Amino acid sequence: MLMLRKSADRGYADHGWLKSYHSFSFADYHDPRHMGVGNLRVINEDRIAPGTGFGTHGHRDMEIVSYVLDGALAHKDSMGNGAAGGEKSGKAAGVILPGDVQRMSAGTGVMHSEFNHDPARTTHFLQIWIIPRRRGIAPGYEQKRFEAADKRGRLALVASEDGREGSVTIHADASLRAGLFDGAERAELALDPRRLAYVHLVRGRLDVNGTTLNGGDALTVADESRLVLERGQDAEVLVFDLASVQ
């Protein structure tokens, strides 16, 4: 079973400094039909204006993954991650660039901030929340880089519960793969029909199990044993394997 969610049907918030599309209910956007998929709770597509950002705020009991598409995101937290003065160079710990995947386990509680220090360029990124397998774990942080070549024409594992294949470790019954597809590039992924898959097309155009997705579209996949991605046009895609219940 395939359930398509068009980009234009997402929630949207314009705060001036922040423009955000919400795949699932978040903040002032509430739709009881879209509260998440399995244990995936949030995908926000955020654009942060130059020289602005999220001030220090708190989270707990959530696995938070940040995936930058353009610009840079400077992260600082109460665990000591993030170094002042490195934001412009993009080389300080906690600065996330396109190709980087950051995982923050909020656990028993963490305070953090996220800023775009560039005076002229907008930061475009995805903020992803996944419900952890267990509450009350110690907070944690991890950041790894995945080059475009690692994702070209294939689904590279970028986050998993056991950190296999060099992925970041998330403390949740879920995994995340990222891929780049264009022209004749094609990939297949075996699925467990007892679980859920969620395909979020970041940008471009891509056919998934015969359904055409455009940038911002998403597809919930249930009771299927295989995922086929093909006929991409400058496509960047994220594929989640998820527990069927929260």
**Predicted local confidence at residue 15, as pLDDT:** 96
**Confidence (pLDDT) at 83:** 56
pLDDT value for 81 = 85
Supply the pLDDT for residue 88. Answer: 42
pLDDT of residue 246: 57
pLDDT tens digits, 7-22: 999 999 999 999 999 9
Distance CA 91, CA 189 (A): 34
pLDDT at position 77 is 85
For 138-177, write each residue's pLDDT tens digit: 999 999 999 999 999 999 999 999 999 999 999 999 999 9
Give the domain ranges of the chain: 2-242
| pLDDT mean over 192-205 | 97
**What CATH class does 2-242 carry?**
mainly beta
Instruction: With cut-offs at 50, 70 and 90, classify the pLDDT of residue 84.
Output: low
pLDDT in tens, 108-123: 999 999 999 999 999 9
| pLDDT over threshold 80, residue 89 | no
Sign of the CA dihedral 207, 199, 99, 19?
A: positive
